[in-house]
Amino acid sequence: MLNNPVKTDVLIIGAGPAGAIAAANLHRLGHRVLVLERETFPRFSIGESLLPHCMTYVEEAGMLEAVNAHGFQFKNGAAFRHQDRYTWYDFEEKFSPGPGTTFQVDRAQFDKLLADEAARQGVEIRYKHTITQVNLQGATAQASFTDAEGKPGTVECRFILDASGFGRVLPRLLDLEAPSDFPVRQAVFTHVDDRIAEGEFDRSKILVTVHPEERDIWYWLIPFSDGRCSIGVVATREKIALRKEETLVAQLQRFIAEAPELKHLLRNARFNYMAREIVGYSAKVKTLAGDKFALLGNAGEFLDPVFSSGVTIAMRSASTAAKVLDRQLRGENVDWQTEYEEPLRQGINTFRVFVETWYDGRFQDVIFYPNQTPAVRRMISSVLAGYAWDTANPFVDAPLRRMTALVDFCRQQTP
């Protein structure tokens, strides 16, 4: 490590939603925070459909007014389609207290807004700074970086929060990665000028379409407020490979052509923008925290995009970690396992049950069951709105047991 390190209390790696929220909260609590971010903002990121629960953390970080004022697409629920079956959950009709609406966002704009808000509050963010190495052995933590000109530098700090997303800086450097429980899935996606006629489509909800024959393949359609939609397909790597085409856009269009209702909805769409793919995004770690470090958001665990839980988990992890770290920096003894890792995993595990039973078709049978009682609908709506930590909800308290019982009931009642 080099001489003359930059000194701070907390180094945050990455200025995405987890990094920006953690930085703002710690700064407000009186700690010196430095955020080093590899890119310049705005930069592309996937994850455009937010859940209402994340607005709790946007508000806590003092960013609600800016987010509300930006003009993002209002969102109040999630709609699901499989062949001729169509249903939706209204997030305002939910079991848990808290916000019932949110937004669908172009992440380049949204992430820049959050980072700029953190900077406006006084947080120092240095862009084009890439963390390359860490040393947690001494009394303080040290991290090496290269700056915009490629020059090396060092940060010395009391604690590192890794909010590097799919960069997964500390899991890689500290050998914390563990094999994911999920098969390798792939997403192919783009933005389109959707040109969907008014009244034909509820723009205030994400539309999740299940492939007509292969129920482990699904599509997202996420409308923005400017006439564009984000459209993507998710399938196992093998199933994506079976539909190989010259370009990613052509491959995505081939998938869309297999889902007649979606194809019809997008019949006038213009595929004007670059398509992208992500393979094997699910990630797991041996631990979410250790001596002088904690992992936030995607740098820790990422399950699956199907219920749009990523940004909410990222923000919740940032909020929880900032509170625990504040106490530690003030000299209190804290236990990261019981105060950070275990509580965070409660919600991650709730989502895990929903994701697993989605892909094997069980939760799909619940979603499309037409006679669900309003009470059960509110409990499910709550989890889909991001309230996956409210143990007063039976589907959070005992997710697998409750889900299994509900699946059995719905399947028995369905002719």
Calpha distance 365→354 (Å, rounded): 12
* Contact status: 117 vs ligand FAD (CB under 6 A): no
* Contact status: 15 vs ligand FAD (CB under 6 A): yes
Q: Cβ of residue 207: shortest distance to ligand FAD, in angstroms?
A: 12
* Contact status: 166 vs ligand FAD (CB under 6 A): yes
Sheet holding 205-210, edge to edge: 85-90, 77-82, 205-210, 218-223, 228-236, 185-193, 276-279
Angle among Cα 140, 135, 21 to the nearest 5 degrees reads 70
Closer to ligand FAD by CB, 48 or 369: give it: 48
Say how many residues touch ligand FAD, by CB under 6 A. 38
* Contact status: 39 vs ligand FAD (CB under 6 A): yes
x/- mask, ligand FAD, residues 94-113, rule CB under 6 A, reads: --------------------
* Out of 114, 169, 344, 366, the residue judged to bind ligand FAD by CB under 6 A: 169
Calpha distance 2→188 (Å, rounded): 42
| Amino acid sitting at position 189 | F
* Contact status: 223 vs ligand FAD (CB under 6 A): no
Q: Cβ of residue 288: shortest distance to ligand FAD, in angstroms?
A: 12
Closer to ligand FAD by CB, 303 or 376: give it: 303
* Out of 187, 221, 256, 406, the residue judged to bind ligand FAD by CB under 6 A: 187
CB 305 within 8 A of CB 299: no
* Contact status: 298 vs ligand FAD (CB under 6 A): yes
The residue range among 119-127, 210-218, 310-318, 359-367 that interacts with ligand FAD, by the rule CB under 6 A, is: 310-318
The residue range among 117-125, 164-172, 174-182, 255-263 that interacts with ligand FAD, by the rule CB under 6 A, is: 164-172
Q: What are phi and psi of 43, to 5 degrees?
A: -135, 150
Residues 6+ apart with CB under 8 A from 167: 13, 14, 38, 299
* Contact status: 48 vs ligand FAD (CB under 6 A): yes
Length of the chain in terms of residues written: 415
* Contact status: 47 vs ligand FAD (CB under 6 A): yes
The residue range among 33-41, 83-91, 176-184, 345-353 that interacts with ligand FAD, by the rule CB under 6 A, is: 33-41
CB 257 within 8 A of CB 125: no
Angle among Cα 127, 130, 136 to the nearest 5 degrees reads 125
The residue range among 10-18, 150-158, 237-245, 259-267 that interacts with ligand FAD, by the rule CB under 6 A, is: 10-18
Over its C-alpha atoms, the chain yields an Rg (Å, rounded) of 21
Cα 142 from chain centre: 28
Task: Please provide the DSSP assignment of 178-239 as one string.
Answer: E--SS--EEEEEEEEE--PPTTSS-TTEEEEEE-SS-TT-EEEEEE-TTSEEEEEEEEEHHH
Closer to ligand FAD by CB, 131 or 217: give it: 131
* Contact status: 163 vs ligand FAD (CB under 6 A): yes
Q: Cβ of residue 43: shortest distance to ligand FAD, in angstroms?
A: 6
Q: Cβ of residue 279: shortest distance to ligand FAD, in angstroms?
A: 10
Calpha distance 54→60 (Å, rounded): 10
CB 225 within 8 A of CB 73: yes
Residues 6+ apart with CB under 8 A from 299: 13, 14, 18, 162, 163, 164, 165, 167, 168, 169, 170, 171
* Contact status: 18 vs ligand FAD (CB under 6 A): yes
Residues 6+ apart with CB under 8 A from 354: 307, 363, 383, 384, 399, 403
Q: Cβ of residue 413: shortest distance to ligand FAD, in angstroms?
A: 31
The residue range among 92-100, 148-156, 248-256, 294-302 that interacts with ligand FAD, by the rule CB under 6 A, is: 294-302
* Contact status: 165 vs ligand FAD (CB under 6 A): yes
Calpha distance 15→23 (Å, rounded): 9
The residue range among 3-11, 236-244, 265-273, 306-314 that interacts with ligand FAD, by the rule CB under 6 A, is: 306-314
Closer to ligand FAD by CB, 346 or 404: give it: 346
Interface residue list for ligand FAD (CB under 6 A): 13-19, 36-39, 45-50, 130-131, 163-167, 169, 187, 278, 281, 297-299, 302, 305, 308, 310-312, 314
